[in-house]
Structure 1
Amino acid sequence: MLTNRFSTSDLPVRDRFTWWRDITVSTLIPTVLASDHADDFHATAEVLDLGGGQVTTMTYLPVTCVRTPKLIRQSDPDYYQLSLTVRGDMGLSQARRHTAFRAGDLMLYDSSQPFEGWASCDGGAVVHVVAQFPKAVVPLPRRLVDRLVATRITADHGFADLLARLLRQVSTSPEHYGTDDVDHVLTVLLDLLAATVAHRLDQVGTLNRENRQHAASLRVRAFIQHHLGDPRLTPGQVAAAHHMSLRSLQRLFADLGTTPAAYIRRQRLEGARRDLVAPAFVARPIHVVAAHWGFSHPAHFTRAFRAAYGVTPREYRETAAGGVVSERRA
């Protein structure tokens, strides 16, 4: 994934705030910035190119910003911006709404409407992640999305939680995504945003079937990932937890080319395989690693591991440091 990094650290102190203001104009949207720390400003930005959009992680000292009608007339990309507050407090006034946001909250704002914003952090720098994309690519009517502009979206459950997790994952581990993943990441982000908006407004019927299926698949897979350590986890329990029939769950996974049981087994094996060679777990007994990932019987774990990777867990642990062990293909 194409990444551009910017930092004030290599600039003369007197030039830093002006330079940062120019960076935010070129990478985000034009605003008027001000800061009580302008004389000794510190900031960094990392911009990830998603083709039809971008994700920017910013760390900076407290600021205020204003997007005026004049700036909108001069330049308006017709974007939505979705912000995840990671550290500090933020506020936004737009569309006659005035809202404060805390760490962990999501907020949505509109490049085509004037706004005023502020960001602060007691004794340190603000950190937030901003996803930016054209309004036209959001798979929901604009009138619905606009109802959540400048409102606090708590990201502690449901689709908002998945959306916040995706932003954190992409921003902290961009090296996990290659050039071929760019379009897929943007699609998942937009589907999760649409699902979040639709559920917050009780307008799930506005999602098309493909959006609903994709969002349901993401939610189910996140649930499975969270419960892999429970050896009692079964496809039936997953279906019941999401108020769907077992047949509906099977259809979701058929679209992924697998079955619910096979997906659970594969995720457990992949988690165990990573832990077997992780430096932090080098002294952890193999049966403990297996139990952590939901394998209650060591012999069964050994058989499943050998079937998947062609070697036993012990052989994998002993040889992985000296070479790559390939996954066995059926």
Structure 2
Amino acid sequence: MTPRRTSATIARSAAEHCLIQVYLDGGCTGTAGERAFAMRIGDVGVLDLAQPLAVETTAFSALTLVIPRAGLILPFKAPEFLHGLVLPAASAIGTLLNDHVRSLHAQLPGLSIKAAAAVAGGAIGVIAAGIGSALDACAPIDEPQGALLDRIKNFIDRKLDAADLGTDLICDAFGLSRSTLYRLFEPLGGVAKHVRDRRLARALHDLAASQPDRPRIADIAYHWGFGSEAAFSRAFRAAYGMTPGEARDTAERMRQSAPKDVGAAERVLERWMRSLTPGNLPS
């Protein structure tokens, strides 16, 4: 079996979440972006649904948590190394998180929805703290610069719809020189690329909105800082492998083909998944 998430798949799903997986039986090998990884029984793996993924696996059994990417990435100084991270079962952190995920799985059926929501919030904190030390070992940026990079990225996310968002605004807000800002964002492909990618991700969510709430493609383009619908379409296609119109049509087809009557558990899961967006995370 070879599950894959290509740029086109990412565009159709509009997911901004991570998977935390614990293999109970079997295992897998694959590539997360350009990073090769392997997971065995007891290992804890982290996969970013907004990045390309190819996995080779046979029969397996695993526990999987779906967590907002912002809830895992923002505390860390090297978030670009999250995708494909594996904590071995033999490591102290791997053992701790393995036990924690298994305990959640065992106890959740007995919890009320309210209690489960509270436990889920605590679980994100435990997992984030646990994998933070592993990410530290991957970081090419020292601690002060990493903390600054996180603050700038948060600032950018808050200002994505601002017409004047750019190098000058960021440098003024943080008292930085252009050279320092460029150096900070070099591992991410540059400031302009990061801003464009984040705007495209927000635009993707707008395109997937259901009627009659969804705006016109041109309005989405201008709202997220693109000078024209044509420029937006070129950037979107380069990022996701399809045009904005194709992404919208795909989302609509998926919505129409969804079951019209799902059970209570599925409805609860759907509401929970909708709540797992960066905007709904506690600040």
TM-score bucket (shorter structure): 0.3 to 0.5
Indicate the structure (1 or 2) with the bigger Cα radius of gyration. 1
Larger helix proportion of the pair: 2
